[in-house]
A and B are shown apart, each in its own frame.
Chain A
Amino acid sequence: MRLSSDQLILWQHGFIKLNATIVTTWALMFVLAVGAKLITRKLATDVTISRWQCALEILVTGIVKQIADVGLAAPRRYIAFLGTLFVFIAAANLFTIVPGYEPPTGSLSTTAALALCVFVAVPLFGIGQRGWRGYLKSYLQPTLIMLPFNMISELSRTLALAVRLFGNMMSGTMILGILLTVTPFLFPVAMSALGLLTGMVQAYIFTILATVYIAAAASGRDQ
């Protein structure tokens, strides 16, 4: 039984392998980029706007409000990164409704890459907000003895981000595969709906946790 779509090799030339995860991610990138380009081609500011633009505005203002609620002062500065995280993971999990699709977030490579992005982004935003000394001094809070623990907690929460998303998505697809061999119709449909719900919740959790980490790094002085 395949653990993830990493093991499905679609094309191979020497040591360069294209597996289903990469191709699915490319397809997702294409759909998201083309969709965004098409919707934002003619932005209107009067009373009647197109439905797609309205949906996108709901999404953007919702994310801005969530970022501001967590405690980041200028949400527009971070929405490029955090919004992309949420939209990518939500789209990757939501397209499970299409038959024959395996979510790329069900592979540890994709979730590890996303967690590494957060791992790199937290010091970047922290140093951009507080400068080198301010950010590095936060590792010595509250006392000097906490330095190794703070560093270990940085690494472990990155690992937790990756494994949490991977475990949730992989378990959803695996339970569906096992149930399909046992009971044909009713149970797999219910589990598929549950899989969609957990996919959306996990996208939200990933983004909110990334926001909390960035807020702790960027404005820890105010705590």
Chain B
Amino acid sequence: MDNTTIIAAASIITAGITMGAGVFGPAMGQGRAVSTALSSLAQQPDAAPTITRTLFVGLAMIESMAIYCFVVSMILLFANPFWNHAISAAGAK
């Protein structure tokens, strides 16, 4: 297997595993956050604006972990510097 094949295979496999493993934790965390927010809304409906705003901010912070994994996966697939370097080296030969 030459360099290009190794780089391509590693990038594709890593991109898939990154997405699969990377969204598992944030999804569990967001589920727990929403369930706690719902139970506190049921206990104190007057505090609904504060609870909702805090819930959204918390969800955004948790979501950004999944977004980091997504960005790395996209970079591996579409803007891969190692792949570009290997392709330009193979093209120059």
Q: Which A residues have a C-beta under 8 Å from some C-beta of B? A: 1, 3, 66, 69, 160, 163-164, 166-168, 170-171, 174, 201-202, 204-205, 208-209, 212
- The answer to whether A69 touches B60 (Cβ under 8 A) is no
Task: From A69, A168, A174, A209, give the contact of B49 (CB < 8 A).
Answer: A69
Question: Can you list 23 contacts pairing A with B, beta carbon distance less than 8 Å?
Answer: A1-B78, A3-B74, A3-B79, A69-B50, A163-B67, A163-B68, A164-B60, A164-B63, A164-B64, A166-B71, A167-B64, A167-B70, A170-B71, A170-B74, A201-B56, A201-B60, A202-B60, A204-B56, A205-B57, A205-B60, A208-B53, A208-B56, A209-B60
The residue in chain B whose Cβ has the minimal distance to the Cβ of A161 is: B64
Cα distance A174–B71 in the bound complex, in angstroms: 12
* A-facing residues in B39-76 (Cβ within 8 Å): 49-50, 53, 56-57, 60-61, 63-64, 67-68, 70-71, 74
Residues of B near A3 (CB, < 8 A) are 74, 78-79
In the complex, which range does the number of interface residues on chain B fall in? 10 to 19
- The answer to whether B64 touches A160 (Cβ under 8 A) is yes
Residues of B near A205 (CB, < 8 A) are 56-57, 60
| Chain B facing A: main interface SS | helix
Q: Which B residues have a C-beta under 8 Å from some C-beta of A? A: 49-50, 53, 56-57, 60-61, 63-64, 67-68, 70-71, 74, 78-79
Task: From A66, A167, A208, give the contact of B67 (CB < 8 A).
Answer: A167
Residues of B near A160 (CB, < 8 A) are 61, 64
